[in-house]
A and B are shown apart, each in its own frame.
Chain A
């Protein structure tokens, strides 16, 4: 049964010259529960926008996004926030850890807006990613690889149904990238979450059994070799 169902999804932005440019035009996309799918896409192919739309951070111009039977795209913003807080984990390329908070607090914040803070679970997650000795450390006191591991733990903190990962290894060296990717995939598996990961890194994509090409999915990207499609009235 699909966890994520997308149909006729469109999103446009106003360019600096005033013209509306469509960056997302995805007729259909599905992701099953507990599935792990990688989306390949070059810079400018709209992959971050696509993930933001799925996470409810952005509202589509048209189309439907359904997560676990709930239509994210039709919800008002507070309910989209709530659905994101309870059902979605997000891993960013730049980690986006909160610098003024300890590792443990970062993970606790990952669950605070959804199921509620669970110190024991947050500690267990950090232990799972090998940071049990770094609970009270601040992100600036960690290596980049360790920071991404905190980000992985935070993404799993709200026991999500779906984890979205946006170029999660983009800022890591190859050893850390392999380690982080394994953690993400194992973490999702252990917690019963589906994973949708976007990357342009061939090494990463090769690890996945299911890889979809965003240029084929996204008609706006496919229009001009990855360039956004201009929308004409």
Chain B
């Protein structure tokens, strides 16, 4: 009897809620931690990056205008979908990252729990970051938080799932939309994650994921005039410097890569959310 030949998945980009190949027609070989062939992933181009920004901008009005409660529900739904795909992700993590099965399970649990944690922040971050200001005069004066806009995210090269979830969730929970440059070496979990996102009631375009060369794609996003912020967590020092210089052109908010190695299992804190929040202060006279 012949052994059944498995049906492999084609790994594509995730733009505007759809799964296109790179318009450039390019792909690159992705191998396991042990060097075995895993897949030909799409190698995104400048045009793909720009299409992704257009999709993210298009989605911004609706997503930032949705109630915080609704955004929290959607992100909780992502956690539910991720939980239900445990087996698939565990296998992918073992292959991509070379971690043991037990470690893969731990990272997966942490990724699900992180989404749940961030989901709860949607309607609370404004309470801890806003303020009613006691001005010296007859004025109502209130400061509240608003999302920055379209944020480019250079995902960490390691921690292909937990690291990725930990950089995406804080950006979108407050109402931003994003374009993510996935880990170049281990991009496959990011595409599988986009399958989760696509089935989580997350509006198309809120998260867009590009695979390929981060050195090639990240600078296009850093210099893009319709991108409002950039998270350089996954960028090596030289790339981070180049991107920060390009980001100055329209004064993007820049989250620099951390000086020390990140422990993705640690308490995230609020800094990743507040890096891409604006404060709006509204004044109105009080009187009859």
Q: Do A and B come from one complex?
A: no
B interface residues (Cβ-Cβ under 8 A, vs A): none
